[in-house]
Amino acid sequence: MKSSARAPRRDDGIGKEEWGMKLGKPVLWIVCLLFCLAFAAGCQPKNAATTGGTAANSGEWLSVQDATGETVRLAKKPERVVVLSPSLLEFVDAAGGNIVGRADAGKSRIPDRFQSAEPVGHVYNVNIEKVVALKPDLVLANKNQHLKFRDILKTNHIPVLYLQPKTYEDVKEALTLIGKVYGTTDLVQKKAAAMDGEIAALRAKLPKVQEKIVILHATPSNVSVELDNSIAGSTAKLLGFTNVASGGKAIEGRPDKTPYSMEALVEKDPDVLFITSMGEHGKIEARLKKDVQGNPAWSSLRAVRTGKVYVLPENLFLLNPGLKYPEAVKFMAKDLYPEVLGK
């Protein structure tokens, strides 16, 4: 049964066309003034740290949220920065920043201008006493490796900014944050735009085909499958490939990987199969033969039949490529399209 209730009428005697005309000039002037004030407020930067200046209202140089979700505040531009993850040094270099201390790592290259910075141990074995002794006004650290130092740094009133660059978007976010730390946002934005342009130019050369891919990750103890938020998964996504494992349930404690199953692999039957690895090569080969290649179904996979099985190098797909992400994209693309990009 339809309701017979009628919409209430406006009883002010003002028609639709007359509504604006009945407002007096003073009222219109006030409305215009309020609009202008609101517009001006909306144009103010939310955080002056994005331009490397002092926040107008708070008097802070920087107020940002790090990879742990904590807000990091700095009263002034840091002058004594210690970097616990060598992979972050290229970000600092790109931002034009300086440091007083750094950790080492066997496979990470230290930019020349940071060679003289005080060493504070290995990335996986940081000497936190040395870090504290340097009296830093900011520590840049990796969330996965250095969260254990948060309490001792906090006790010594040393702010720490945790970063966790893994996917390409993570890398650009970390670059942006470090640009804010040093007040060089414009500089890092140019670097990010250059990387975007390099990847776009490379992708424009490739055939417009959506390849179905899978990425196996092998260690001496097990085989798993990489998701979109892994380094190789992010790289494949940048190339427009379809990861057949996308949306899979992550392994507990390993958010970028899902369990391996030959049955699922046969069902999805990808066009291309990539392999990443970590550990001693001989043991990895033995694991792959036992868990994957020894299965009779292996030879039935389209990627195997067509010879599209590729091993990805550790320096680009196990260790985060950081600002070298375009190199990782090019490497993966060259495996599939050597006739376009050369070998």
- pLDDT for the residue numbered 183: 96
- pLDDT for the residue numbered 319: 84
Please check whether residue 39 lies inside any domain of the structure.
no
Residues 213, 288, single domain; the answer is: yes
Half-sphere exposure of 333 (CA within 13 A, CB side): 26
Alpha helices, H only, the chain: 25-42, 89-94, 128-133, 143-146, 150-155, 168-182, 185-204, 231-238, 262-268, 281-288, 302-305, 314-317, 325-336, 338-341
Cα 181 to its chain centre, rounded Å, is: 17
Distance CA 54, CA 2 (A): 62
- pLDDT for the residue numbered 107: 63
Please check whether residue 92 lies inside any domain of the structure.
yes
112: tokens are: 């020349």
19-22-26-27 Cα dihedral, nearest 10 degrees: -30
Q: Which of 197, 229, 261 is the endpoint of a domain? A: 197
Full domain range(s) for residue 279: 205-341
Residues 152, 229, single domain; the answer is: no
Q: Which of 172, 197, 222 is the endpoint of a domain? A: 197
CATH number at residue 76: 3.40.50.1980
Residues 228, 284, single domain; the answer is: yes
Among residues 188, 160, 187, which one has the least CA distance to residue 174? 188
- pLDDT for the residue numbered 58: 60
Residues 211, 98, single domain; the answer is: no
- pLDDT for the residue numbered 208: 87
Please check whether residue 212 lies inside any domain of the structure.
yes
Please check whether residue 5 lies inside any domain of the structure.
no
Q: Give the chain's domain count.
A: 2
Residues 302, 269, single domain; the answer is: yes
Q: Which of 164, 197, 230 is the endpoint of a domain? A: 197
Residues 190, 163, single domain; the answer is: yes
| CB 120 within 8 Å of CB 134 | yes
The region that residue 99 occupies, defined by phi over 0 for left and psi between -120 and 50 for alpha, beta otherwise, is beta
Please check whether residue 21 lies inside any domain of the structure.
no
DSSP secondary structure letter of residue 289: I
Distance CA 325, CA 143 (A): 20
Please check whether residue 125 lies inside any domain of the structure.
yes
Helix, strand, coil % over all residues of the chain, rounded to 5? 45, 15, 40
DSSP secondary structure letter of residue 163: E
Residues 154, 123, single domain; the answer is: yes
Distance CA 180, CA 173 (A): 11
- pLDDT for the residue numbered 20: 35
Per-residue pLDDT of the chain (343 residues; tens, 9 = 90+): 433 333 333 333 333 333 333 334 444 444 344 444 344 444 333 333 343 444 444 678 999 999 999 999 999 999 999 999 999 999 999 999 999 999 998 766 789 999 999 999 999 999 999 999 999 999 999 999 999 999 999 999 999 999 999 999 999 999 999 999 999 999 999 999 999 999 999 999 999 888 999 999 999 999 999 999 999 999 999 999 999 999 999 999 999 999 999 999 999 999 999 999 998 888 999 999 898 999 999 999 999 999 999 999 998 998 889 999 999 999 999 999 998 887 6
185: tokens are: 């946002």
- pLDDT for the residue numbered 211: 93
Residues 288, 239, single domain; the answer is: yes
- The pTM of the full predicted model, rounded to 2 decimals, is 0.80
Residues 176, 125, single domain; the answer is: yes
- Which pairs with CB-CB distance under 8 Å and at least 24 residues apart come from 88-94? 88/140, 88/142, 88/163, 88/165, 88/174, 88/178, 89/114, 90/322, 90/323, 91/165, 91/174, 91/175, 91/178, 91/322, 91/323, 92/140, 92/178, 92/182, 94/175, 94/178, 94/187, 94/188, 94/191, 94/323
- pLDDT for the residue numbered 4: 38
Please check whether residue 335 lies inside any domain of the structure.
yes
Residues 301, 259, single domain; the answer is: yes
Residues 252, 306, single domain; the answer is: yes
- pLDDT for the residue numbered 44: 36
Distance CA 234, CA 335 (A): 16
Distance CA 203, CA 236 (A): 11
Burial of 229 (0-12, 13-18, 19+ CB in 10 A): middle
| CB 178 within 8 Å of CB 92 | yes
Distance CA 260, CA 300 (A): 17
Please check whether residue 22 lies inside any domain of the structure.
no
- What's 250-276 look like in SS3? CECCECCEEECCHHHHHHHCCCEEEEE
Residues 282, 238, single domain; the answer is: yes
